[in-house]
Each structure stands twice: as structure tokens, then as C-alpha cells.
Structure 1
Amino acid sequence: MRETEREPRPAPGRREAYRAFVPLTTRWSDNDIYGHMNNVVHYALFDSAVNGWLIAAGLLDIHRGARIGLVVETGCRYFAELAFPDPVTAGIRVGRLGTSSVRYEIGLFRGEAETAAAEGFFVHVYVDRDTRRPAPLDDRLRNRLLELTT
């Protein structure tokens, strides 16, 4: 595809497009040599936001739960820089809900900003903790995730 035929880059998402919000803290070590948050930190914040929400909602027991979510795909678009000591709020929504998988979509917002500085996703496949084979989402988890579905 030639440069002129490329689709336009999507605009950053807005806060109202997300269903749940988790406050996050940036750290001094999150900044790189260029003075902004290193790209890999965004992925750590995505993971912390979703798993923190699941734990707080009583939907994930990381030590004894029969099912765990394994990440099988990720992606991120960056729109504006974030840096320590920026306060960050992660917006969470569910883009797709399958039998044993969930596509979580996350927007990172600087403070009270209405547009995302970065937006990403990851897909969890829920598996049996011992066998690591896909396991259907239980009704309680599915019902709570339906509340986050766009």
C-alpha cells in the first residue's frame, strides 16, 4: 500500500467510551532517557489496571483461583506523552467476550484529561490453573464483564 493510500490514524478515545476506571501511580523509574514514560510501562499499567479491577471486584484470586487469564495478544497506540509524576487513570472496557477469552481495551488518561494519552488492548484466554487448557468463563465473571462491554 502506498503512503497516500493509508487509512487515517484513529483519534484518541474519550473518557466516556470506557466503563470502569482505575487510578494508577507513575514511578520515577518509569521515565526513560527522553524524559517520558517508556513504552513498555504502558503495558504494565494495562495489566495492573485490568487485574487490579478483577481482584477488587472479587473475580480473580491470583493465588488459589481455579482459572487464570493468560495474555495471548497485545497492542498499543500512543497519542501523547506520559511521565512521572503524572497521575494516570486507566479506563477499561470489554471489546469482545468469547467462551473462554476476553479482549480488554484500556485507555490511559493523564489526570482528568478527557482524551487518552495511549490506548491499548490485550486478550486474556482463561485457562484451568493446573492443566493450562482453556476453560469457559463462569457466569459470575461473564456477567460482570458484560457490564464493561461496548
Structure 2
Amino acid sequence: MPTGIARLQLVTKHLAPASIQTQKRALASEAPSSKEASSPPYRARGDYKYFLPIQSRWSDQDQYGHINNAIYYHYIDTVVNEYLIKYCGLDPSSKTQPIGLVVSSSANFYASASYPSVLEVGLTVAKIGRTSITYRVGVFENQSPMACVVGGFTHVFVDPIERRPVEIPETLRIKASKISA
């Protein structure tokens, strides 16, 4: 009977091909299509209608020397709410106006950014429904034509007291559609 490495190879030789095949199948099933791989949606600067410059902060950066992934959600939230307040008449202190609750969010990371960059955060409205708006946000560093991060979220508008979905007010719908994709 072999010993040491030879024994280990003999005992595990039947495992290696199966595990490699399993890994290849898993990778193939998770790989994006060629269209998605060559041109992810909402990655180009031209996909966005509104931009907000945001100065990164020292505290945004993590121990790896780049802006931490969780911070990008702050940027996404900031650009959406800044647009809603400044251009759509949203009043966060109103007790009667519908409020937007985030029901889903996501972010895809293509490159890293770091302090002390001034980031340009682009916003567009991907979809306006009866009670919801889906936003897409791209984060651009150093005038890059391609976003380093693409994310967004969906707001469902609700009554501020009952917290039940309500139809988006017409004024908000019209003003949000001005930056629609």
C-alpha cells in the first residue's frame, strides 16, 4: 500500500475530476451572456440624465484602500432623494405627502474608487409604475465614461400614516419622467 502523498493521490483521484467538472458547470451557469458581458446595462455615462457631484470622504475608504461597498448605497440614496426633494417637490417633513419606501436595491461593482475623488453620481428613472419608481444610478470617477458602480433601487410610494401603497402623485410622476431612460 502506498504511503504519504502517493496514498493521498490514490484515495482522492476519483474526487478531482468530479469537483472540477462541478466547478466548471457552476461557473458556466453563473456566467453572463455575451451581450451582458460586453455591455452591462446602465454602465455608460450617456445612460444618465441627472448628475450630482459627491466628494468622497476619508471615512468612506476601508482598510483595502478603496471606497467600501456599503458607502455606495449612501451615494445612491443621496442622489435619488436630492432629485426628489429639489426637482419633484418631495417634502420629507410632510405628514400628508406619500413617502417612498425602498423595497429592493442592488449594486454591481466594476472598478474601485478611492478618497479623495470627487465622484459624479448619475441618475435615471428606469421604470415608473402606478405606485412605484425604479431608479438606476451610476457612480463615475475622474470623468470616466464608464461607471465604476451601477446600482439602484425601487421606491414604493405609501401613505405616511397607514403605510399602504398609494398612486404616485401626478406632479411627481411628470417630474420623475423628465429623467426617464
**Residue number in structure 1 paired with 2:12:** none
Alignment match, 1:70: 101
- Identify the residue that residue 135 of structure 1 maps to in structure 2: 166
User: What's the TM-score, normalizing by structure 1?
Assistant: 0.93
The Cα shift of 1:59 comes to 2.2
Offset at residue 67 of structure 1 (A): 1.0
8 Å CA contact 2:88–2:176 kept in 1: the answer is no
Q: Which residue of 1 aligns with 2:82?
A: 52
1:42 matches 2:72: yes
Matched residues in 1 for 2:154 and 2:39: separation?
22
Q: Give the Å deviation of 1:135.
A: 1.1
The answer to whether the aligner puts 1:101 opposite 2:144 as a matched pair is: no
Q: What residue number does 1:3 align with?
A: 27
- Count, aligned residues: 150
Instruction: Give the equivalent residue in structure 1 for 2:11.
Output: none
Distance in 2 (alpha carbons) for counterparts of 1:139 and 1:73: 23
Q: Which has the higher contact order (CA 8 A, sep 6+)?
A: 1
Letter of the structure 2 residue corresponding to residue 101 of structure 1: S
Query: Partners in 2 of 1:99 and 1:114 — Cα distance?
Result: 33
Q: Is the 8 A contact 1:24 1:49 kept in 2?
A: no
Given residue 27 of structure 2, which amino acid in structure 1 is its aligned partner? E
Q: Please give the TM-score of this superposition, normalised by the length of structure 2.
A: 0.78
SS in 1 for 2:100: strand
Q: Which runs of 5+ in 1 are unaligned?
A: none
Letter in 1 for 2:53: P
Structure ranking higher in helix proportion: 2
Deviation at 1:2, TM superposition (A): 3.4
Q: For structure 1, which segment, 50-59 or 116-125, has the greater mean C-alpha deviation from structure 2 after superposition?
A: 50-59
Percent of residue pairs bearing the same amino acid type: 33
Tell me if 1:91 matches 2:126. Answer: no
- Measure how far apart 1:37 and its partner are: 0.4
Counterpart of 1:3 in 2: which secondary structure?
helix
Aligned to 1:121: 152
**Partner Cα separation in structure 2 for residue 10 and residue 127 of structure 1:** 38
SS at match of 1:2: helix
Q: 1:19 Cα shift?
A: 1.1
Q: Could you tell me how far apart the structure 1 residues matched to 2:121 and 2:109 are?
A: 14
Q: 1:147 to 1:111 in 2, by over 3 A?
A: same
Contact residue 88 and residue 175 of structure 2 kept, 8 A: no
